[in-house]
Every structure is written in structure tokens, then in C-alpha cells.
Amino acid sequence: MDKTRVLFLCTGNSARSQMAEVFLRYYAGDRFEAHSAGLEPKPINPLTLAVMEEIGFDLSEQRSKGVEVYLGKTHFDYLITVCDDADKNCPTVWPGVNQRLHWSFEDPAQFVGTEEQKLAKFRQVRDAIQERVKAWLTQQGIPVTD
């Protein structure tokens, strides 16, 4: 049985889409093939690495990728934009995409504050993405356990 392919798309592929990819792989890797990309890829944010490491996820092998890696080359059952900018600027017609969804999460990298306040914002976004992935899987009829 083929796995359902999902592409999480964000502007930079440096935080939100990376987190979503890792969570989907963790909770349903036996049923889903998770990928992520960015419209304008940037290196993975060090705070992304830190807050994911806090909860036991090592992203050191992850890398930021541009959308051109996949556009028109790979079939996806779902394209899920995880930021408003990507949703607005993503091609409306994408050959090889069955269904497009939008999950809006604020960009933690845009938050201004102390280092601890920035970490708190990254944690907040991380937790929201984790809960959204779990809820979506539940809607798909896939049991989610921690």
C-alpha cells in the first residue's frame, strides 16, 4: 500500500513547515510520507532546532528545501500551507496535487523580544502545530498516541 504524500509549505522552510513535517512523520510515518519546502528557503532557524530538541526531536539531519525540488516533479495527496504568505503566493494550480489545505500559524521568527521570549513564542507555535497535526490525523481516522 502506498503512503499518502504530504508537502508542508511555508515561506522559508526554516520553522513551521519543518516542525509539521517532523510531527507527521512521528505520528503517522507508517501511513504518510511527509515533506516540507519553502517559497524562499532559508537555513533552519536555530530556535526551531532548540524547541524541537526540547521535546525529543533531532532535526540536525533536516535541511531547508525550495519548492522547485517538488513543483511538477512529485505527486502529493495533500499540499498544506502553514503560513499566510505561502498560502497567498503559492501557485493556485499545482500539477500533481490532489488537495490543498491551509493551516495558519504565526511566524515565530518575526517575534521581537528577549531570547527567552523568542523561545517561548517558538514553543507556542511548535505546540500549536503538533496539536493541529494530531487533530488532522484523528479527522483522517488515524489513531494518535504520544
Counting every residue, how long is the chain? 146
DSSP, residue by residue, 35-99: EEEESS--PPPHHHHHHHHHTT---TT----BGGGTTTTS-EEEEEE-SHHHHHHS-S--TTEEE
Active-site option among 90, 125, 133, 137: 90
Active-site residue, 111 included = no
User: Rounded CA gap, 132 and 138, in Å?
Assistant: 10
First to last CA, the chain: 25
Quickly tell me which residue has 508537502 as its cell: 7
Active-site residue, 83 included = yes
Active-site option among 10, 34, 44, 49: 10
Active-site residue, 120 included = no
Active-site option among 51, 83, 125, 129: 83
CA–chain centroid gap for 118, Å, is 19
Q: Active-site residue numbers?
A: 10, 83, 90
